[in-house]
Chains A and B, each alone.
Chain A
Amino acid sequence: MLLKDLFNPKARKKYITLPAHTKDSKDSPEQGPAIKTCPKCGKPNREEDMDNSYKVCLGCSYHYPLTAGERIWIMTDENSFSEFNKGLKTSDPLAFPGYAERVAKAREDTGLDDAVITGTTTINGEKAVLGVMDSGFMMGSMGSVAGEKITAAFENAIKERVPVVFFTASGGARMQEGMLSLMQMAKTSAAVARFHEEGLLYISVLTHPTTGGVTASFATLADIIIAEPGALVCFTGPRVIEQTIHQKIPEGFQKAEFLLEHGMIDKIIHRRDLKEFLGKMMALHR
């Protein structure tokens, strides 16, 4: 907000606005029956081709967002995944208006209990604890349930003496659980700290979009930080920066390539090559 806008009630209302089309496309990503138009290059990709190409655009390599289920399917060895903390659900601790309904709807839409799935698995034959966030579940936001699952995942990995691989995708801390959500940043970071003390390997894969409280906690505390091509990873998103302090956003800002250049991540890896990379990296730390 500009200083002069402080005195203009109309301008004050524009703190942050979300463009309507972005919201719609997030709410129903599966528009159109069998064709997925690439949001980057506009190429109409056929869904069945997508399934064979790791959901990467055949024209420009745009990485479509994956659901948690798809991610597990693509990244793990067949039938190797077994879930932790099944049935953990939010109890709407602040009785926040509209929250229970939104969670119920997200559950119905995604078939998930919350935005994170964790469990043990093998990746290219390497045993690991795997965590996957689903941006389709209330933007992958982290509340009490997500925080508990993430923390437990690291604790379980300590017990089993195996590496942790975490695929992050999140809008940040979940507002509707207030300070309890914020505290999950500290809780998960403390769990990662203990995990590191044990001399075990943690690889995080930042996928589109990883923002806010997740970027500022466990996601960026890994030994090896990978990002998928084009993934937006930030603490404050470009829209909020633009609208709150009116700074111009440089081209490609906060994208994986930008982060690599600025020394924030180790590598950008194409989705097709990720599984092999993870297997190799874990084998190096066995």
Chain B
Amino acid sequence: MKTEAEIRSVAEPSEDRSYVNYRPPTSGLQLPLQVGRTMSYKYSLEFEKDYKELERKLNELKEIALNKKIDFSQEIATLETKLENYKEEKYSTLSAWQKVLIARHPERPATMDYIEAIFDDFIELHGDRCYRDDPAIVGGIARFNGVPVTVIGHQKGRDTNQNLKRNFGMPHPEGYRKACRLVKQAEKFKRPVICLIDTQGAYPGVEAEKRGQGWAIAQTLMQMSLLKTPIISLVTGEGGSGGALALGVADRVLMLSYAIYSVISPEGCASILCKDVSKSHEMADYLKLTAEDLHEMGVIDEIISEPLEGAHTDPDKTYKIVREKLQVHFDALQSSNIDELLEKRYRRLRNMGVFEEVGV
């Protein structure tokens, strides 16, 4: 909710500046045709290719009509409607795997984008006080519609350099320990906590194991279950396994419509169960990892609808919807009694699980 210059003035030096300056293309039409073409091809998902091609042809037609001053407006309008219908049809019947692809889209808004768009006066806080600062998890204090809150989220990078720094959004134990520290601090100052989930998972590396990856995640889960301040978690992109869940113990869990949340990646599942990664598409289906499936199963509380072609195609619209939805839950939680809230948080988790009781 600030101008770009304002953001830039408080933004951190070096890498993060380029990050702030980055603006995902809003739509192909507003860009010069040549740029639009390369951009859309660079990150086109396989199932988008057919209509992106049509879109491009349509743009060419528009340009020709404009240059040669021929009136094709009616034909163009018809084609545009057809194209829109085609897209709507396509996006209403996306497979689980196609949603996985959107959730991982490299241009999809990341945690810092949401923080800058939705919160004011964000001040990032660093470090776990034990080992180091983990750039794969960002956290700090901000205002949400005037109210001070603690915001924590996984942070993926935007390009290779940033991703190397951010470790592709895959935290080490110190990331979770930083999160623990920040939620404890939020509790002390009675600030609500808002978590943004977007990670493939906790980092599967030697150093992470040495420093107790499992221990750190477990501590986070335990602490958040007892935290005496409201918590809202939002799955914005990929919710990958325990590394994602660590920020997911909350009073309300929301999810963007093309986000995914899963016990294991479809690829991991396919290679373990079928010994064949090409079965990932099927596994994505079986794992029931889409927002719709999870809402039905009661794992999440609400789905936040993204723009038709995904959050990355219209980030500003996405931020607006997310802000509105967050506000609704935020207000509801702010007005509730903390003991009742903790009891409900426990019940929410307590009821997770489906099984049958057979008489013995």
Contacts and interface: CB of A to CB of B under 8 A. Distances in A.
B358 A18 contact: no
B354 A180 contact: yes
B275 A221 contact: no
Given A216-B214, A264-B212, A245 B263 contact: no
Given A178-B287, A179-B262, A190 B205 contact: no
Main secondary structure of the interface of B (DSSP, over half): helix
Interface centre among B206, B262, B289 (most CB of A within 10 A): B206
B218 A236 contact: no
Interface residues of B, number: 61
A144 B273 contact: no
A175 interface: yes
| Tier of interface size on chain A | 35 or more
A16 B268 contact: yes
A235 B262 contact: no
A87 B245 CA distance: 29
B221 A186 contact: yes
A87 B357 contact: yes
B355 A245 contact: no
A69 to B, nearest CB: 17
Given A190-B222, A264-B215, A90 B245 contact: no
A76 interface: no
B204 interface: yes
B271 A17 contact: yes
Which of B209, B225, B275 is the most central at the interface, judged by chain A CB atoms within 10 Å of its CB? B209
A196 B263 CA distance: 27
B214 A235 contact: yes
Given A16-B272, A193-B225, A219 B218 contact: yes
A186 B287 contact: no
Contacts of B349: 183, 186-187, 190
A262 B213 contact: no
Nearest to B271: A15
A164 to B, nearest CB: 14
B217 interface: yes
Interface string B247-270: 011000000000001111001111
A93 B272 contact: no
26 contacts: A12-B277, A15-B277, A88-B357, A90-B355, A93-B354, A143-B353, A144-B354, A145-B353, A151-B350, A173-B242, A175-B272, A177-B263, A178-B287, A186-B352, A189-B222, A190-B221, A193-B226, A196-B222, A213-B263, A217-B217, A235-B242, A236-B205, A236-B213, A240-B204, A241-B204, A264-B212
Given A182-B245, A183-B353, A216-B242, 14 more contacts: A15-B270, A88-B356, A88-B358, A185-B218, A186-B349, A192-B222, A193-B223, A213-B263, A216-B202, A216-B217, A219-B214, A219-B218, A220-B214, A254-B209
